[in-house]
Amino acid sequence: MPEMVDPPDANEEEEEPLIPANFSIPIHKILHDAQQTHGLTHDGDDYNQYHTYLTNRISRLRHSNPVYKRKGGSGGNRKKHAYSKREITVAEANEHENFILVALYIAERAWAHAMELKAASEDGRSSLNAKSKSNSNPGGGRGGVKRNLYVKRLKKAVKHVDELEEFVTVICDETTKLELQSYAAWMRGNHSCETRNWKAACERYAIALRTCHQLSAQSKKEEKFQLSDFFLSRADNVLQPLLRYCQYELQKEGKLSQDQIDEIVQFQISAIAGDGDGDGDGGNVQDPHSDIDGTSISFRGQDISLEDSAVRMAFIKIQNKKETWDNLKNSKGAKAAVKDAKLMELLTSYDGAIGIAEHLLGRYQDMASGPAVNRKRTDCSNLLGYFKFEKLKLVMDRNEALVKSLRQKDTEMDNSKANGDGSSSQDDAESKYKIVEEIARLYDVLLQDAKSATELPGLSEEDIEDEFILEANANVLRIRSLRCYYIGRMYASDVVSKYREALELFDQASTLAKEAAEEIAACQDMEEANDLIDEIMSLEKELDAARCRTTASAFLASRNSAGASIATSGLSLLGRLDDFDAGGKTYRLAHVPPNLLAVAAKPFFFDIANNYVKEFTVDEIEAYITLRKPREKKGLFRWFR
**Long-range Cβ contact pairs of 202-208 (< 8 A, separation 24 or more):** 202/243, 202/246, 202/247, 202/250, 202/264, 202/267, 202/268, 203/264, 203/267, 205/239, 205/242, 205/243, 205/246, 206/243, 206/264, 206/267, 206/268, 206/271, 207/181, 207/182, 207/271, 208/182, 208/183, 208/239
Contact 544, 509 (CB under 8 A): no
pLDDT tens digits along 227-285: 777 888 888 888 888 888 888 887 777 766 666 666 665 655 554 444 434 344 443 33
Q: What angle do CA 230, 119, 126 make, to 5 degrees?
A: 150
43 and 157 together in one domain: yes
CB neighbours of residue 237 within 10 Å: 9
Cα 175 from Cα 165, distance rounded (Å) = 13
Q: Is residue 372 part of a domain?
A: no
Residue 23 phi/psi, 5-degree rounding, is -65, 140
62 and 188 together in one domain: yes
Q: Under DSSP, is residue 528 helix (H, G, I), strand (E, B) or coil?
A: coil
Q: Which of 595, 566, 596, 559 is nearest to 583 (CA)?
A: 566
Q: Under DSSP, is residue 255 helix (H, G, I), strand (E, B) or coil?
A: coil
What value does the mean pLDDT take over residues 590-601? Answer: 74
Does 28 score more than 60 pLDDT?
A: yes
Q: Is residue 255 part of a domain?
A: yes
219 and 181 together in one domain: no
Q: Is residue 391 part of a domain?
A: no
Amino acid sitting at position 237? N
Peptide bond into 593 cis (omega under 30): yes
**Which residues are paired to 45 by β-bridges?**
40
Of 228, 259, 288, the last residue of a domain is 288
Q: Under DSSP, is residue 172 helix (H, G, I), strand (E, B) or coil?
A: strand
Q: Could you give the C-alpha distances from 614 to 71, 423, 600, in angstroms and in order?
A: 130, 20, 11
24 and 108 together in one domain: yes
Q: How many Cα neighbours within 13 Å face the side chain of 585?
A: 24
Q: Under DSSP, is residue 92 helix (H, G, I), strand (E, B) or coil?
A: helix
Q: Which of 239, 229, 248 is nearest to 181 (CA)?
A: 239
Q: Is residue 409 part of a domain?
A: no
106 and 27 together in one domain: yes
Most confident of 466-470, 562-566, 634-638: 466-470
CATH for 164: 1.10.3450.40
Strands (E), 356-403: none
Q: Is residue 7 part of a domain?
A: no
Alpha-carbon torsion, ordered 554, 557, 558, 559, to 10 deg: 140
Does 584 score more than 70 pLDDT?
A: no
179 and 273 together in one domain: no
Q: Is residue 101 part of a domain?
A: yes
584 Rama class: left (phi>0) / alpha (psi -120 to 50) / beta:
left
Strands (E), 440-582: none
Per-chain mean pLDDT for the chain: 75
180 and 101 together in one domain: yes
**pLDDT classification of 508: cutoffs 50, 70, 90:** very high
Q: Under DSSP, is residue 298 helix (H, G, I), strand (E, B) or coil?
A: strand
Supply the Cα-derived Rg of the chain in whole angstroms: 46
Of 288, 318, 352, the last residue of a domain is 288
| Residue 236 DSSP one-character state | I
What value does the mean pLDDT take over residues 416-426? Answer: 53
91 and 177 together in one domain: yes
Alpha-carbon torsion, ordered 145, 147, 152, 157, to 10 deg: 150
What value does the mean pLDDT take over residues 594-610? Answer: 66
Q: Which distant-in-sequence residues (6+ apart) come within 8 Å of 503 by Cβ?
A: 488, 547, 550, 551, 554
Q: State residue 332's pLDDT score.
A: 73
**Which residues are paired to 23 by β-bridges?**
172
Q: State residue 586's pLDDT score.
A: 58
105 and 59 together in one domain: yes
pLDDT tens digits along 329-384: 777 777 778 888 888 888 888 888 888 888 888 877 777 777 777 777 788 888 88
Q: State residue 233's pLDDT score.
A: 80
Q: Which of 303, 291, 468 is nearest to 382 (CA)?
A: 303
Does 405 score more than 50 pLDDT?
A: yes
Cα 151 from Cα 138, distance rounded (Å) = 16
pLDDT tens digits along 122-145: 766 444 444 444 344 444 444 445
Of 195, 218, 236, the last residue of a domain is 195
Contact 552, 582 (CB under 8 A): yes
Q: Is residue 561 part of a domain?
A: no
Q: Is residue 156 part of a domain?
A: yes
**Which residues are paired to 121 by β-bridges?**
none
Cα 432 from Cα 442, distance rounded (Å) = 16
Amino acid sitting at position 565? S
Q: How many domains does the chain have?
A: 2
**pLDDT classification of 486: cutoffs 50, 70, 90:** very high
**Per-residue H/E/C for 10-53:** CCCCCCCCCCCCCECCCHHHHHHHHHHHCCECCCCECHHHHHHH
In sign, the C-alpha dihedral spanning 603, 607, 608, 613 is positive
What is the helix (H) or strand (E) element at residue 303, kind and residue range?
Answer: strand 302-305
Does 39 score more than 60 pLDDT?
A: yes
Q: Among 133-142, 459-468, 482-491, where is mean pLDDT lowest?
A: 133-142
Cα 346 from Cα 440, distance rounded (Å) = 26
Domain housing 229: 198-288
110 and 208 together in one domain: no
Which segments of 94-173 does DSSP mark as H helices, in order? 98-123, 142-171
| pTM for the structure as a whole | 0.55
140 and 203 together in one domain: no
153 and 280 together in one domain: no
